[in-house]
């Protein structure tokens, strides 16, 4: 039995352990009396940062909100799925990544979190900068099991030269822990689950160990029963809901693994075990894992790449558009192609809306995970047809507990460095630095009451 069960109050960093399985818990009322031992309480929640990257820009005419009073009273076609969250949403127009020029797909990806100029090279002497998420991980991530979590939807990383003489590493990786250290992403739900809840050892060893177990939760049954006897009714319900969610995610991963046996795929197509065949199912599973990681305080910093730049993925089942995304983004100002691209943009935004739904539905302290998480959604390209990096599609969601007002459209007359927004979110997350990349100040409008 775990040693924590002898304590008078539960610390925030409480784990259930058994047979190599590790399960952290959400914030409970029973943890709040231990405030002297742990700094987080219902009134002082964990500060979390999430970054979601949408590749290849968008159709700005269908992205930009149309209301003229600075609110989000009327959402644009691409953003319509976010309507239930407009009170925790801010759209920022005319954000810029000046260091991404000369315009390319490689620099769109690499500059999104770094706002830095990538060294032009096709070899392994690549160089960028420490990204905003990793600056956060160095500070707010040190109290958690994982300082940060880097996720994506592309199962294979490309190698060599990818775009205009730039090494593929710039397109593969959003996060860099130093100017010369890109952090690889993970796209396999089973492996992500193991990182969050599994035992040590190599990925292969952990995967083999988990397949031998009927369920992670079966190994912590004794601790769960003992824990529940110490909790009040509200905490018992909260733990029950959390464990139900963990088991549901595990069930979906196991189902995806089982489905592999009945998928009649070409012999030369090696589908990784346990990855849902449908993009939407895969994406939602990855988003649910992110919610669990935040809820269990396993990490407070997550980046998620919906697709790489130059991705030729098609979304016919999801949008009715059969065109590969990258060629369609070079639309040559053809209205029909732009309209089809906008459908892909709207689909990607709808996945973000699903993420917000899940965060808002998850209690956390005296609010919800959405209240206590600041999320940046956007792209490193504005108009993909010309590879520009001005007027980027950019929005911020959540963060109500940290003073972000929401329900507004901040429309700037002159371009504002995206680095200003990174600096602002880092500051609110408790990362105190004077500047970031080419920043010129902070986006204080996020926190000011709207004046019409």
Q: What is the pLDDT of residues 164-220, one digit of tens each?
A: 789 989 999 999 999 999 999 999 988 888 788 765 445 455 455 545 555 666 666
Handedness of CA 301, 307, 308, 309 (dihedral sign): negative
Residue (of 414, 419, 410) closest to 442 by Cα position: 419
d(CA 312, CA 322): 11
Most confident of 101-105, 235-239, 357-361: 357-361
Q: How far apart are CA 302 and CA 299, in angstroms?
A: 7
Q: At what angle do helices 221-230 and 233-260 cross, to 10 degrees?
A: 160
For every residue of 350-397, DSSP letters joined together read HHHHHHHHHHHTSEETTEETTTTEEEEEE-S-S-TTTT--BS--EEEE
The CB density around residue 204, as the number of other CB atoms within 10 Å, is: 9
Per the CB < 8 A criterion, the answer to whether 109 and 103 are in contact is no
Contacts of 102 (CB under 8 A, 6+ apart): 164
d(CA 98, CA 81) in angstroms, rounded, equals 30
User: CB of 187 within 8 A of CB of 151?
Assistant: yes
Least confident interval from 70-74, 265-269, 395-399: 265-269
Q: Kindly tell me if the per-residue pLDDT of 226 is higher than 60.
A: yes
Query: Any idea which of 125-134, 250-259, 428-437 has the lowest mean pLDDT?
Result: 250-259
CB of 398 closer than 8 Å to CB of 433: no
Can you tell me the distance from the alpha carbon of 397 to that of 405, in angstroms, rounded to the nearest whole number?
A: 10
What average pLDDT is seen over the chain? 85
> pLDDT tens for residues 408-444?
999 999 999 999 999 999 999 999 999 999 999 999 9
pLDDT at 403 over 50: yes
List, in order of start, the domains of the chain with CATH numbers.
12-44+191-274 (no CATH), 48-187+281-447 (3.40.720)
Q: Which of 280, 248, 298 is nearest to 355 (CA)?
A: 280
Which tens digit of pLDDT belongs to each residue from 298-340? 899 999 999 999 899 999 999 999 999 999 999 999 999 999 9
In sequence order, which residues have a C-beta less than 8 Å from that of residue 361 and are 6 or more positions away? 368
Reported as a pLDDT band with limits 50, 70 and 90, residue 24 is confident
At 36 the pLDDT is 42
| pLDDT on residue 241 | 77
pLDDT, residue 232, reads 83
For residues 319 and 311, give the distance between their C-alpha atoms in angstroms, rounded to a whole number.
16
Helix (H, G, I), strand (E, B) or coil at 230: helix
């Amino acid at each position: 039995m775990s040693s924590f069960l002898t304590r008078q109050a539960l610390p925030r960093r409480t784990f259930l352990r058994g047979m190599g399985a590790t399960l952290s818990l959400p914030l409970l009322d029973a943890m709040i009396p231990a405030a002297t031992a742990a700094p987080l309480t219902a009134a002082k929640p964990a500060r979390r940062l999430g970054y979601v990257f949408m590749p290849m820009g968008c159709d700005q005419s269908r992205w930009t909100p149309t209301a003229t009073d600075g609110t989000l009273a009327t959402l644009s076609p691409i953003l319509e799925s976010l309507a239930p969250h407009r009170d925790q949403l801010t759209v920022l127009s005319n954000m810029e990544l000046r260091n991404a020029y000369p315009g390319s797909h490689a620099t769109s990806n690499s500059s999104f979190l770094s706002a830095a100029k990538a060294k032009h090279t096709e070899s392994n002497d690549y160089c960028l900068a420490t990204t905003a998420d990793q600056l956060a991980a160095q500070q707010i991530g040190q109290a958690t099991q994982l300082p940060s979590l880097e996720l994506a939807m592309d199962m294979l990383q490309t190698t060599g030269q990818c775009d205009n003489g730039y090494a593929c590493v710039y397109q593969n990786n959003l996060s860099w822990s130093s100017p010369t250290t890109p952090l690889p992403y993970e796209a396999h739900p089973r492996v992500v689950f193991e990182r969050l809840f599994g035992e040590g050892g190599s990925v292969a060893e952990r995967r083999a160990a988990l397949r031998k177990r009927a369920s992670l939760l079966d190994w912590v049954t004794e601790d769960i029963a003992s824990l529940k006897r110490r909790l009040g009714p509200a905490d018992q319900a909260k733990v029950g809901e959390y464990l139900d969610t963990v088991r549901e995610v595990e069930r979906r991963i196991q189902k995806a693994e089982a489905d592999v046996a009945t998928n009649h795929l070409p012999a030369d197509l090696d589908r990784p075990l346990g990855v849902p065949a449908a993009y939407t199912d895969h994406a939602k599973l990855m988003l649910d894992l992110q919610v669990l990681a935040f809820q269990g305080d396993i990490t407070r910093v997550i980046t998620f790449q919906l697709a790489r730049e130059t991705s030729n993925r098609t979304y016919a089942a999801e949008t009715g558009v059969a065109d590969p995304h990258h060629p369609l983004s070079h639309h040559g100002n053809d209205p029909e192609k732009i309209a089809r691209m906008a459908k892909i943009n709207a689909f990607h935004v709808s996945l973000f809306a699903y993420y917000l739904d899940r965060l808002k539905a998850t209690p956390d302290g005296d609010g919800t995970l959405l209240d206590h998480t600041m999320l940046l959604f956007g792209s490193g390209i504005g108009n993909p047809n010309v590879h520009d990096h001005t007027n980027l599609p950019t929005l911020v969601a959540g963060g109500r507990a940290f003073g972000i007002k929401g329900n507004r459209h901040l429309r700037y007359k002159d371009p504002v460095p995206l680095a200003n927004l990174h600096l602002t979110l880092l500051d609110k997350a408790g990362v105190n630095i004077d500047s970031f990349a080419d920043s010129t100040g902070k986006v204080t409008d996020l926190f000011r009451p709207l004046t019409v």
